[in-house]
Amino acid sequence: MASNAFSAQPLLLMLVFFALMYFLMIAPNQRKQKKWQQMLSQLKNGDRVTTNGGIRGVIVSVKDDVVQLRIPPDNIKIEFVKSAIAAVTTPEE
């Protein structure tokens, strides 16, 4: 009977390990992803944004999955997919 309790110990240790991994790695990443998706859904004209490639500009138009940015200093307009937007840099009012 003691051998059955001993054989369950590695299984319990593995379950604790996976639970710890979930709470330390997976759950925070899911929260970050949800916050980023919410930010993308709230993009609007006039927002200053930074792309994943480091390009900064002002949103001129927002379509389904595309945003058009005006890039200084020559006011060039470039289209990006929404998922390329890394951050909104417009200060909160």
- Full-model pTM: 0.70
**What was the pLDDT predicted at 90?**
72
Residues 90 and 48 in one domain: yes
Residue 3 and residue 28 share a domain: yes
Confidence of residue 10 (pLDDT cuts 50, 70, 90): confident
**Which residues on adjacent β-strands are paired with residue 69?**
59, 78
Query: Which residue type, as a one-letter code, is found at position 87?
Result: A
Query: Looking at the structure, do residues 87 and 54 belong to the same domain, yes or no?
Result: yes
Are 3 and 33 in a shared domain? yes
- pLDDT tens digits, 11-41: 899 999 999 999 899 999 999 999 999 999 9
The C-alpha atoms of residue 9 and residue 79 are separated, in whole angstroms, by 56
Domain with 69 in it: 44-93
Say yes or no: 28 and 50 in one domain: no
Co-location of 49 and 91 in the same domain: yes
Confidence of residue 3 (pLDDT cuts 50, 70, 90): low
DSSP 36: H
| Model pLDDT for residues 46-89, shown as the tens digit of each residue | 999 999 999 999 999 999 899 999 999 999 999 999 999 999 98
